[in-house]
Amino acid sequence: MTPDTKKKLPNHIAIIMDGNKRWAKLNGLEPKSGYRHGAEAAREIVNSCVRRGIDYLTLFAFSSENWMRPAKEVQSLMALFLTVLKRIEIGQLNKNNVRLRFIGNRLELPARLLAMMAEVEALTRKNTGTTVIVAADYGGRWDLSNASKLIAKKVKNGDLELDEIDIDLVHSFTSLSNYPDPDFCLRTGGEHRISNFLLWQFAYTELYFTNCYWPDFDDAQLQIALDDYASRQRRYGGHDVEEDAKLEDKKNHLGMGS
């Protein structure tokens, strides 16, 4: 890691872990093997972020659209989710001061999974190191519609005036209201879209896409992505004074100055 990369590490990384099934097919394996290897990749990346001192890591584990997959595949995903929670060495992460949180619609998730999620959250609640947020049965549109329902209910009950509704208030009802918006979103698997992930929170997030399938995404691949992030200038819709000065110097050098 270069000194420049250290200065520009993102505070919050979000990852769309794509390509598990295609990786399995490429390697002549069943889809469940792809998800299982993907779980191992997730564990490595969590540890990589902890070592780098990344404050927040959000992983897109199961989208609201995944319910449309064949029932057998959904059952396999749920079983794998339970296995992942056991395999990612929760005890070790707890010793490393990692805090785990879950976001998403919990109404359709199996009782065993909900119990495991609650147990993990309770165990790591007081930790102050890297916060790992797992998005399960999550969708950006669901997040916004759910926030709208909660706000509408408050208005209906007389607890909120219409004029009080602004960006900050809407944000306070979204799933990541207690955390900063992601600085950097990585998507593996060669697709170039965000697939209904954190639609509200990605307003100024830097996006990075790689052809690497998720099971092959390791610490070295993460470093390549972080180097790319460090090379970018984030303007948040405004001007970059340093960049403006460079452009002015270039114009003067070319004899184009006013």
Instruction: Number of helices (H) and strands (E) in the chain: give both, helices first.
Output: 10, 6
- DSSP-derived pairing of the beta strands 206-209 and 131-138: unpaired
223, two tokens:
């470093």
For residue 66, indicate whether it is catalytic: yes
HSE at residue 171, side-chain half, CA atoms within 13 A, is 11
Query: Cβ distance 155 to 178 under 8 Å?
Result: no
List 18, 143, 181, 183, catalytic entry: 18
Q: Which of 149, 155, 157, 218 minimizes the C-alpha distance to 186?
A: 218
Q: For the chain of 258 residues, list the mean pLDDT of each consecutive stretch of 10.
A: 66 95 94 86 93 96 57 59 63 89 86 85 95 92 97 97 97 97 98 96 98 97 98 77 58 58
Q: How far apart are the first and last CA of the chain?
A: 41
Quickly count: other Cβ atoms within 10 Å of residue 155's Cβ.
13
For residue 94, indicate whether it is catalytic: no
DSSP of 73-127, one letter per residue? HHHHHHHHHHHHHHHT-HHHHHHTT-EEEEES--TTS-HHHHHHHHHHHHHHTT-
List 66, 96, 146, 196, catalytic entry: 66
Phi, psi of 236 (to 5 degrees): 55, 35
**Structural domains present in the chain:** 8-253 (3.40.1180.10)
- DSSP-derived pairing of the beta strands 131-138 and 99-103: parallel
Residue 93: what pLDDT?
86
